[in-house]
Structures are given as C-alpha cells and as structure tokens.
Homo-oligomer: A and B are copies of this chain.
C-alpha cells in the first residue's frame, strides 16, 4: 500500500456539492477546522483553517507545516497563516472576508474556539453547517468506495486469523493484540475516528460469554468491560472459554476510510437457544438485503427490524437489553464511524445510491452473552452490495 493523496478532481467534486448547500441556505462561507472534515475537503490534516466561500475557490490557510499541506492537498490556494487572528488579512488577498452568515462545525468545535472566532470577527454571524457537511459526506464517490473496499478486504483476513488462531484460555486482550497487530501490519491507520462528543473508538471489540452483555458508555449495542472504568469498553482480561459466544467487532481504517464488521465465533458449540438467536440476527440481515433500495426510508427499516424482533420474542434483547438498547441498527461509514445514514427511528431520509453503511443486528442476553453479525453495504441502484464478504454463519474456531 502507498501513501495516497486524494485526487484533485475528487476534492473539487466535494467542495462543489458543499457550496451548493451553502448557496441554497444563504450561507456566505464556511470555516472548517476539524481533522476529518479538513481531510475530506482538502486531502490534508495539517493544522489550518479551510475557508469555503459559497462561490469561488476555497483557501486553505495553514498554521502548521505548509510544505506538507501543499504536498498532500490538491487545492489551488494554500497559503501560510501565522495564527488565527490574521485570517482576515490572509483572506483579503483573495477578496474574501469573514462577514455575514459564516458556517462552523458546531457539533465538534469546542466553545472556547467559537468565542475566540466571535471576538476576532465581529462582522460574522456564525451558524452551524455541520449538517450540510454530513449530508455531503454521506454520498460516496467511486474513489471513496475503492478505499472502503481495501479495508473490507483486510477485515476478511482479520476474521480468518481469528477463526484460525483463537484458543481456549487466551484472554480477550490477547486476541485483541493478535488481530490489532495483523491489521496494523497490513496498513490499518491506527485509529477509527468518531464524530460524537465523548465517543472514542480504537481497533475493535473482542468479548467472550456474559461479559459481552455489559452495557458501556458507547452509544452502541455492545461495549464490553475493557481493562478499566476509565475506558470501559473493548477487550478485558476475561478468559476465552469453550461453548460460549465470542464476539469480534472489528474496524480497519485505510486512507481515512473506516470499515466495521462483526462475527460470532465459538470453540465447541453454542446452546440451541443461542444458535437460534444467531440465526435470527442473520435473518434480519437477509431481510435488510432484500428490503433496501433507493427511495425507501432509513427509519422504516429500523422499525421493520424492531418489529421483526418483537414478533419473534426477541424484543427485550434486540440491540441491547431493555433500557440499554441502542437506538439504531446501522450507521454510515466513511472518514468517521458514526456517519450518515443512520438506520434509526428519527433518521427519515431515504436510501440513495452510493451511501455506505454498516448493518449490525445483535441480541444481548444479560448474564449469558451476545450473538450478532455486522456487514458493510454499498447502496446501488438495484439494492445493496455487501462489501465485507467473510462467511456469516457462526464460526467454529479451530476448523479452518
């Protein structure tokens, strides 16, 4: 794999769509600074402000390393900036100013930076444009999809390694270390970005048995114990044993783009109840594969899946146990792991071609364990294409 810079054409396509939303909504310009958004619109995360006027060429004003920013980004205007206070003078050279309706990423920008901008630019009427950014990022280009496919390929190998190497007596941490090392050697970027406040994610989650059923601080169906209440998610010192469901929920990031996959493994055999529960999660996934097409509502898919679980007696266990249930069954994938679309009750947008999402029906049985499956999908004109391709039955360890 090589150190790959985002093509200029790709960047222009992204900026153009974002500018369309700024124009439609009467926003004069946006000032972008968060790493994932910076990378999306410029191809670099070197410390900078990206000024995107509703019309015209954007300007990347770099407070960090200018050479590296220029090598990595294909934008035409990349200029040095001593510090944020000088931004006005820098933009004036391009006949731009921070006046009128100026968009900020208010869902991620810390308050202190906002106050500092308000002080420096009294003529600006700042407003939140993070929703526009998320809408633009929701629809992937062929280039972006090709990045996601690379991660999906490595994820298949991660699951194969798990099936071949896990042994009874290993700790969850030992399995995590083994799979993390495999992914990293293959070029996993080292972290999976999340947009949500306080949401943190590293390589993956590995749990065995009842410990998998612990609720966590994550806004996800599973979280696990972790090694400490300071982190409170992921693998722990819990020991892998036979005849218990082993959950591996793993992500790989390649060139910024994240993928996400879950498989249920066992050493020996699951109980008939858990086998049946697992079959149900696979059935929900099959249902989704047949159901999704452009024009159908994301929230309706959520309802259909929840209703299916309720009818089959799994209502209390679906996506978490009772009050700990996560309010989604799928999430968009891209530069962040919590992108749009959400397959959630309040996300009423329709599926569109070139959305990419993870779908993860899971059942949580307190004091017993968890079973579930997760795959990544591309929405096509006809329906969905599955991007993560590893065998999605319960995976018996040691039989490879």
Show the binding face of A for B, using Cβ within 8 Å: 1-6, 33-35, 39, 43-47, 64-65, 67-68, 72, 104, 106-115, 128, 130, 171, 173-174, 176-178, 180-182, 184-185, 187-191, 193, 197-198, 200, 202-203, 214-217, 219, 225-232, 234-237, 253-257, 324, 335
Interface of A is mostly: loop
Instruction: Determine if B198 and A34 form an interchain contact, defined as CB atoms under 8 angstroms apart.
Output: yes
Collect the chain B residues with CB atoms within 8 Å of residue A191's CB: 191, 200, 202, 231
Collect the chain B residues with CB atoms within 8 Å of residue A187's CB: 173, 227, 237
One of B65, B104, B113, B228 near A189 (C-beta < 8 A): B228
Instruction: Determine if B111 and A43 form an interchain contact, defined as CB atoms under 8 angstroms apart.
Output: no
Instruction: Determine if A113 and B197 form an interchain contact, defined as CB atoms under 8 angstroms apart.
Output: yes
Collect the chain B residues with CB atoms within 8 Å of residue A110's CB: 106-111, 197
Collect the chain B residues with CB atoms within 8 Å of residue A198's CB: 33-35, 45, 47
> A398 to B233, alpha carbons, bound, how many Å?
37
One of B128, B200, B217, B235 near A64 (C-beta < 8 A): B217
A320 nearest CB across to chain B (Å):
10
Collect the chain B residues with CB atoms within 8 Å of residue A171's CB: 185
Copies in the complex: 2
Most chain B beta carbons < 10 A, residue from A177, A184, A190: A190
> A130 to B111, alpha carbons, bound, how many Å?
11
> A234 to B43, alpha carbons, bound, how many Å?
18
Instruction: Determine if A229 and B114 form an interchain contact, defined as CB atoms under 8 angstroms apart.
Output: no
Contact status of A324 and B65, CB under 8 A, knowing A115-B106, A184-B176: yes
Instruction: Determine if A43 and B255 form an interchain contact, defined as CB atoms under 8 angstroms apart.
Output: no
Closest to A42 in B: B229
> A65 to B224, alpha carbons, bound, how many Å?
13
One of B39, B112, B219, B235 near A107 (C-beta < 8 A): B112
> A178 to B187, alpha carbons, bound, how many Å?
14
Instruction: Determine if A229 and B112 form an interchain contact, defined as CB atoms under 8 angstroms apart.
Output: no
> A103 to B363, alpha carbons, bound, how many Å?
40
Contact status of A1 and B230, CB under 8 A, knowing A64-B217, A202-B190: no
